[in-house]
Structure 1
């Protein structure tokens, strides 16, 4: 398994390229502001051929390079329908005061082909399996992508690309248009709590972490875990740590 990631642009948004191995097809996750050159550099370094761009949500810091990246490689972009409008209307998505000084340098619009992500979809792309979970809270159309743990005995853990749902020590903001804290906490409970502690979390901003680390230290995940326990729900898995 190859995962090449780098922070890009004014917001330091993590863009990821995922492939079974170097020299093979890959999926690109969240090519945001000023990410296009970093994508090209990573493709060349690892001899990868992209087959799709998949988006955790529609904020401009995660989608600003979708048009040039998809256009350069003639690949589709996948996004939840509730966030699709954000590619063409980032000002409506963020509000007028957030990041608007940068609007003049951004490529706004949709790539030639846009496909729809829905909750429970299992994408099979580039020899990879990505399970899609709808995770509203940061935006109405936020999703996560989970790759299962390796089945070949190589001891590679499951990986969750969490977008702006879950960060190391924190969560995504909920004060922008479409954000909702109750939905955010519900998504954390539904998407993150059931995962094994060994699951690696690669988020939209900041360093990687694990579900076990966040279950132990993240105040928001601790809150939803306590609420779950108070309701008498089954404890979440703790295998792997």
Structure 2
């Protein structure tokens, strides 16, 4: 598995490109904006985008999804259907943040807990981790010990819950019962900021309850 991290927009959201080295097929994950630049970055890697994967429906993670799906002629996958209202409200999110209007988003496929997504010979398990948003999912590659985390858990922090659909108790339940049971040596890429590991956050993150 190879990946390339591309922070986008003023929110510095970690859009990522993950691909199978054996066949050169890729998934573009959480393309929150800067579509033209993302196209250049993808072209520089010499891979073929086959799908767009979304962790959740906030503007900074989905802002360029429709445009890039049309450009690459690929489906949009995710998040969980509980984010349907959030994705329908994208024009309102644009207005809230003073961004040019973007059309509502309707994924080609909603995801459920335990579902699988794949690109080339890579396979990721879907974990439904609500709290930051109702339909938030993360993508876990067990073989590579790697998670595309979105805005659930960060290096030294956790996802904010003061946006529509957010709930702190739900977020902590997701972290405690979906993520912390996983092995310490799993690396994750959060939606913003530097990478970390489950173990590092278990032992140092001030927002996580000590067990």
Specify the TM-score bucket, using the shorter chain as the normaliser: over 0.9
RMSD: 1.9
The alpha-carbon deviation at position 147 of structure 1 amounts to 0.6
- Report the equivalent of 1:132: 126
Tell me, what secondary structure is at the counterpart of 1:7?
strand
Are 1:41 and 2:15 matched, yes or no? no
- Report the equivalent of 2:65: 66
| Aligned mate of 1:108, from 103, 108, 111 | 103
> Aligned partners of 2:131 and 2:88: how far apart in 1?
21
Tell me, what secondary structure is at the counterpart of 1:84?
helix
What pairs with 1:1-241 in structure 2 (closer than 5 Å)?
A: 1-21=1-21, 24-34=24-34, 36-79=35-78, 80-90=80-90, 98-99=96-97, 101-102=98-99, 105-110=100-105, 114-149=108-143, 157-221=144-208, 223=209, 225-226=210-211
Tell me, what secondary structure is at the counterpart of 2:3?
strand
Contact 1:138–1:174 (8 Å) recurs in 2: yes
The alpha-carbon deviation at position 175 of structure 1 amounts to 0.9
The alpha-carbon deviation at position 84 of structure 1 amounts to 2.7
The alpha-carbon deviation at position 160 of structure 1 amounts to 0.9
Task: State the TM-score, normalized to the length of structure 1.
Answer: 0.81
Tell me, what secondary structure is at the counterpart of 2:74?
coil
Contact 1:2–1:19 (8 Å) recurs in 2: yes
> Aligned partners of 1:196 and 1:73: how far apart in 2?
36
The alpha-carbon deviation at position 38 of structure 1 amounts to 3.1
Task: State the TM-score, normalized to the length of structure 2.
Answer: 0.92
Contact 1:64–1:108 (8 Å) recurs in 2: no
Structure 1: 5+ residue stretches without partners:
150-156, 227-241
**Higher Cα Rg: structure 1 or 2?**
1
Contact 1:134–1:143 (8 Å) recurs in 2: yes
Structure 2: 5+ residue stretches without partners:
none
- Report the equivalent of 1:153: none
Contact 2:127–2:178 (8 Å) recurs in 1: yes
Q: How many residue pairs are counted as aligned between the two chains?
A: 210
The alpha-carbon deviation at position 194 of structure 1 amounts to 1.2
* Cα pair distance change 1:198/1:78, threshold 3 Å: same
Contact 1:162–1:202 (8 Å) recurs in 2: yes
| CA deviation string 1:189-226 (max 9, x = no partner) | 112111111111101000111111111110223x1x42
